[in-house]
Amino acid sequence: MEVDLKNLSAYTDEAIKLALAYGPKLVLAILTLIVGLWVIKWFSKGMIKVMDSRRLDPSLKPFFSSLISITLKILLAISVMGMIGIEMTSFIALLGAAGLAFGMALSGTLQNFAGGVVLLVFKPFKVGDFVEAAGYSGTVSEIRIFNTILKTPDNKTIIIPNNAIAGSSMVNYTTEATRRVDFVFGISYQDDIDLTKSILNRLIERDERIHKDPAPFIGLTEMADSSVNLVVRVWADTPNYWPIYFDMMEDVKKTFDAEGISIPFPQRDVHLYNQKA
d(CA 146, CA 106): 12
Could you list the pLDDT tens digit for every one of the 277 residues in the chain?
A: 444 555 656 666 666 666 656 667 777 778 888 888 888 888 877 777 777 776 666 666 676 777 777 788 878 887 777 777 666 666 666 666 666 655 555 556 777 778 887 887 788 888 899 999 999 999 999 888 788 999 999 999 999 999 899 888 899 999 999 999 999 999 999 999 999 999 999 999 999 999 999 999 999 999 998 899 999 999 999 999 999 999 999 999 999 999 999 988 776 777 777 776 5
Give SS3 for 249.
helix
Residues of the chain with CATH 2.30.30.60: 115-172
CA distance 213 to 218: 14
What separation in angstroms does the CA of 233 have from each of 180, 200, 204, 221, 228? 7, 11, 10, 12, 17
Domain over 115-172 is classified CATH 2.30.30.60: yes
CATH 3.30.70.100 in the chain: give the residue spans.
Answer: 178-259
Tell which phi-psi region holds residue 260, choosing left (phi > 0), alpha (psi between -120 and 50) or beta.
left
- Spatial distance between the Cα atoms of 137 and 87, rounded to a whole number of angstroms: 51
State the CATH class of domain 178-259: alpha beta
Nearest CA among 207, 199, 254, 206 for reference residue 230: 199
Label residue 55 left, alpha or beta by phi (over 0 means left) and psi (-120 to 50 means alpha).
left
Helix (H/G/I), strand (E/B), else coil: 116:
helix
